[in-house]
Each structure stands twice: as C-alpha cells, then as structure tokens.
Amino acid sequence: MTTKKFMMVNRKAPYGTIYAWEALEVVLIAAAFEQDVSLAFLDDGVYQLKKGHNTKAIETKAFEKTWGALEDYDITKLYVAQESLAERGLTADDLAVPVEVLSRAEIGKLMEEQDVILSF
C-alpha cells in the first residue's frame, strides 16, 4: 500500500461540536491503514488536549483518554501551536499527552509538506 503523509488539522474545541471526535476517528482509520499520520492543533483545537476532562455530567465520551492510545497506533507526531496555547493561558504542562510545541509558522511549513490535509 502506498504511504502518504496525512495531517489532521484540528481547530475546534471538544464537545461543543462533533469536529474533534470525528477528527480522532479519522486519525484512527488512517493509522489502521498504516499511513504516515500527524496531527496539528491550532486555535481552539488546543482545548482538545487539555488534561482532566470530566464529561460525566454532559454524558459524552471523554476522549481525552484516547490520546494515550495513539502511541499504540504509531502516531507520535502531535504538533501544537505555541501562540494558540499562550492566547488561552495554557502551557504544554496542561496537556494530556506529550506534544511538540511549535510556532504557527512552523506548523504552516509542515502543512506544506503533506500529501493530504484533512480539516476539522
């Protein structure tokens, strides 16, 4: 099978819309087909990675836990925009999994290197 470079660009907060969960499902599918998958988190997308989600009361799956499984799927390239974290008063320590914090411009360059970009 041909391997392509896939990047999922996540820009939405979790739970308010279905985008974040859909992106994660697509990530798992792409990885199951052994593609070269990376994830970029920009804007409100960084809220997806915040640790300590408790969704019991809103009766929604807390997929924060699922980030921990990405390693099993050989997905290790998680890029987070420094500016988006800073604007929201967050740092890498607030996130549920280890990520690579990059500037928006650096993420922009990585986007240019992809074969496929999926926007969420």
Partner 1 sequence: MAFELNGKTYETDEEGYLVNLSDWNEDVAKYLAQQEGVNLTDAHWEVINFLRDYYNEFQIAPAVRVLTKAIGKKLGPEKGNSQYLYELFPYGPAKQACKIAGLPKPTGCV
Partner 2 sequence: MLHIVNKSPYDRPALNSVLATAEGGTILLIEDGVFAAVKGGAEEAKVKAAMAKFKFYALQSDLEARGMADRVIDGVTVTDYAGFVDLVAEHKTCQSWL
Stretch that binds partner 2, among 7-15, 25-33, 55-63, 93-101 (CB under 8 A): 7-15
CB of 39 to partner 2, least distance (A): 14
- Contact by Cβ (8 Å): 81, 73: no
DSSP-derived 3-state class of residue 107: helix
Shortest gap between Cβ of 114 and partner 2 (angstroms)? 6
Q: Where do contacts with partner 2 occur on this chain (CB under 8 A)?
A: 9, 11-12, 19, 42-43, 81, 83, 104-105, 107-109, 111-112, 114-117, 119-120
